[in-house]
Structure 1
Amino acid sequence: MASGIQVNPQVVETFNQLKIKHDISYAIFSLSDDLTEIVVQEVSANGDYDEFISKLPTDKCRYAVLDFKYTLNDGGQRDKIVFFAWTPDTASIKDKMLFASSKDALKKQLNGIHTEIQATDLDEVEYEEVYNKVSSGGTK
């Protein structure tokens, strides 16, 4: 990993629990206090989308995974795993650089991501924006 930051095994375990058991609605990951690894910051078993968005800090970078549930035009229900790279404009340059340099290594360990959202402000994570990206097939 270019940044030297490791992925704590609990991050992968949490992601797999979300993906396989579907008993987690979202998980937010941050850097450890000593900036040596990506760790689980928060997990929610039944949080909705608005709650998830409210947990993203306005001045700190975060990674997150969300079991995004939505309804198709024909009434069918779907859910897709969305990976968020949250780097708000007000975060420090150091924070942004650490998150940018460790993102790809993290994603390689999280097999099953349907869509990635890179966002710097709340407009980019509005439900409709994410829905449009997820329902159009996502990005790898």
Structure 2
Amino acid sequence: MERASKRQRLPASAPLRKAADSITAYNDLKLNKKYKYIIYKLDDANKNIVVDSTSEDGDDYESFRDKLVNATTKSKTGAVGKGPRFAVYDFEYQLASGEGTRNKITFIAWSPDDAGIFAKMLYASSKEAVKSALPGLAAELQANDQDDIEYESIIKVVSKGTAA
């Protein structure tokens, strides 16, 4: 008896590679405290995760947020529009109980509602592959509009309500 149907092979969900500098930058943030944040993007060929930007001396949360909000990407037709990004931020916060400070390395998947559908699909299908390459993440957030990346909103989630 012949099989009624054969399984079709589906393409890999994440057709990308993590560029070496992406992993190096993450280790510099995690182990060496060289950066406060790293913003990652897909390269123009949509094949590699590369570092888009890192924190510089004096950068605060607002400069990080501005970089996410103003991120752009090219569509397949070459049009430039709002762009999704992956980010890692080392949040530091005071405990409300007065017991000191805590740090949480947090993964943020930024996919603004007004970004192109193709870009959002690429980033959504790549998210798990990127996270798996970054061991030691303490929290994860999906952000789709500017309210989702307000500092107070994120600290509440990251600290599970224990921040001062």
Q: Tell me if TM exceeds 0.5.
A: yes
1:72 equivalent to 2:95? Answer: yes
Larger helix percent: 1
Asked if structure 2 preserves the Cα contact closer than 8 Å seen for 1:23 and 1:45, the reply is no
Segments of 5+ residues of structure 2 without an aligned counterpart are 1-11, 71-81
1:1-140 equivalent positions in 2, closer than 5 A: 1-46=12-57, 47-58=59-70, 59-73=82-96, 74=98, 76-136=100-160
1:41-69 Cα distance to aligned partner (Å, 9 max, x none): 10114321111101113511000001111
How many residue pairs match? The answer is 137
The amino acid of 1:56's aligned partner reads L
Structure 1 residues 80, 55: closer, same or farther in 2, change over 3 A? same
Task: Tell me the SS of whatever aligns to 1:3.
Answer: coil
Distance 2:24 2:142 in 1: 23
Q: Runs (4+) of structure 1 moved beyond 6 Å?
A: none
The answer to which of 49-58 and 114-123 deviates more is 49-58
Q: If the length of structure 2 is used for normalisation, what is the TM-score?
A: 0.79
Segments of 5+ residues of structure 1 without an aligned counterpart are none
Asked if structure 1 preserves the Cα contact closer than 8 Å seen for 2:69 and 2:146, the reply is no
Whichever of the two has the greater Rg, that structure is: 2
The amino acid of 1:29's aligned partner reads Y
Q: If the length of structure 1 is used for normalisation, what is the TM-score?
A: 0.92
The amino acid of 2:64's aligned partner reads F
Cα deviation, residue 75, structure 1: 5.6
Distance 1:42 1:127 in 2: 19
Task: Tell me the SS of whatever aligns to 2:34.
Answer: coil
